[in-house]
């Protein structure tokens, strides 16, 4: 603002200038500026809050945790994984589980029944142990690694009408919820299988 405009604004008084000059001559510039600022803020929020799909890979090892190989598989999965809703990013967490606890007791039975754990990495000893019990017959060796990979399709736990009878839900509503759970789980299992196939083909 030049000196003449500043002087004129001082003579008129700020409120008078705001009402008779700014609002008459500059209001559209003001509205345009507010609009552009709003678009910019919403864009930044959208990028910063980009949808994230979190994926777990369960890594079962018998004796030694091979962190280098686990990290390598995590990066490969992250590079190939497709977000669940088709947009955003996928964050992969490779969760290591020893085959036995400190007392030498075999474990991981609970994790094997978790329907959200789909992709498993196993070393040779772990694979042999679980295959003897009928698990992971379809596991295949990862190219260039000493690890096997498999997808385990554990059915989801469905809602039961008796669990929600006192909350006013109908059997039809329970059935709709269960259908949604089954359909979503099926999509996740299919996506996991396609992902593992891609990893095995290199």
CA-based torsion, 181, 183, 189, 191: positive or negative: negative
**pLDDT category of residue 109 using cuts at 50, 70 and 90:** low
User: Residue 163's pLDDT is what?
Assistant: 78
Q: pLDDT averaged over the chain?
A: 78
Domain ranges of the chain: 3-48, 52-201
User: Residue 172's pLDDT is what?
Assistant: 87
How many residues are given for the chain? 202
Within 10 angstroms of residue 77's Cβ, the number of other Cβ atoms is 23
User: Residue 112's pLDDT is what?
Assistant: 77
User: Residue 108's pLDDT is what?
Assistant: 63
User: Residue 114's pLDDT is what?
Assistant: 83
Within 10 angstroms of residue 154's Cβ, the number of other Cβ atoms is 15
**CA dist 82 to 52, 54, 78, 190, Å?**
11, 11, 8, 12
**pLDDT category of residue 33 using cuts at 50, 70 and 90:** confident
Of 91, 95, 65, 62, give the one whose Cα is nearest residue 79: 91
Compute the average pLDDT of residues 58-75: 83
**pLDDT category of residue 143 using cuts at 50, 70 and 90:** confident
CATH of 52-201 among 1.10.3470, 2.60.40, 3.40.190, 3.40.50: 3.40.190
Q: Report the C-alpha gap between 56 and 102 in whole angstroms.
A: 24
pTM of the model: 0.65
CA-based torsion, 66, 68, 71, 80: positive or negative: negative
**pLDDT category of residue 103 using cuts at 50, 70 and 90:** low
User: Residue 170's pLDDT is what?
Assistant: 83
């Amino acid at each position: 603002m030049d000196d003449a405009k500043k002087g004129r604004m001082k003579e008129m008084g700020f409120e008078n200038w705001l009402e008779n000059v700014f609002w008459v001559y500059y209001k559209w510039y003001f509205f345009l500026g507010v609009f552009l600022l709003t678009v910019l803020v919403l864009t930044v929020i959208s990028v910063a809050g980009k949808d994230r799909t979190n994926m777990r890979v369960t890594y079962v090892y018998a004796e030694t945790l091979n962190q280098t190989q686990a990290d390598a598989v995590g990066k490969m999965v992250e590079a190939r994984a497709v977000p669940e809703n088709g947009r955003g990013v996928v964050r992969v967490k490779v969760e290591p589980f020893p085959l036995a606890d400190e007392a030498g007791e075999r474990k991981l039975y609970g994790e094997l029944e978790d329907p959200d754990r789909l992709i498993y990495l196993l070393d040779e000893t772990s694979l042999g142990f679980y295959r003897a019990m009928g698990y992971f017959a379809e596991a295949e060796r990862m190219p260039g690694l000493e690890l096997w990979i498999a997808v385990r399709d554990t059915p989801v736990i469905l809602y039961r009408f008796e669990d929600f009878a006192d909350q006013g839900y109908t059997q039809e509503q329970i059935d709709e919820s269960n259908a949604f759970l089954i359909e979503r789980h099926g999509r996740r299992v299919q996506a996991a299988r396609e992902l593992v196939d891609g990893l095995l083909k290199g």
